[in-house]
Amino acid sequence: SYELTQPPSVSVSPGQTARITCSGDALPKQYVFWYQQRPGQAPKLVIYKNTQRPSGIPERLSGSNSGTTVTLTISGVQAEDEADYYCQSADSTGVVFGGGTKLTVL
């Protein structure tokens, strides 16, 4: 299966915009899902099918895609957004996750 590449860490100050990227050769052909994982908790789906937000997810979290890179954007970052974020996609061989990005709110 192919790989998804994420930056290990992103740091922003409260109120700023955080952008977390996920790159993979197959992404133009496959949907991407994003998960937020706070310490000690199970992952939580925050974006599905590249840009869709599940019920209850704030509008300041958004997804976008451009070719082989997709981006999770968190506008007006708050302290509660500090977490690990994972992208995920799939191909004919199965499901693959990115390595995860730790978002630090300074």
Partner 1 sequence: QVHLVQSEADVKKPGASVKVSCKASGYTFTDYYIHWVRQAPGQGLEWMGWIIPNSGDTKYPQKFQGRVALTSDTSLSTAYMELTSLKSDDTAIYYCVREDFDFWGQGTLITVSS
Per CB under 8 A, contacts with partner 1 among 46-105 are: 48, 54, 86, 88, 93-100
Contacts of 55 (CB under 8 A, 6+ apart): none
Distances (CA, A) of 1 to 9, 30, 104: 24, 13, 30
Closest contact distance (angstroms) between CB of 33 and partner 1 is 6
Q: Count of residues binding partner 1 (CB under 8 A)? A: 19
Closest contact distance (angstroms) between CB of 63 and partner 1 is 14
Contact flags string 18-47 toward partner 1, x per CB under 8 A:
---------------x-x------xxxx--
Closest contact distance (angstroms) between CB of 85 and partner 1 is 11
Task: Please tell me the distance from the alpha carbon of residue 88 to that of residue 85, in angstroms, as a whole number.
Answer: 10
Distances (CA, A) of 17 to 26, 76, 94: 27, 6, 32
Task: Please tell me the distance from the alpha carbon of residue 48 to that of residue 52, in angstroms, as a whole number.
Answer: 5
What is the contact surface with partner 1 in residues (CB under 8 A)? Answer: 1, 33, 35, 42-45, 48, 54, 86, 88, 93-100
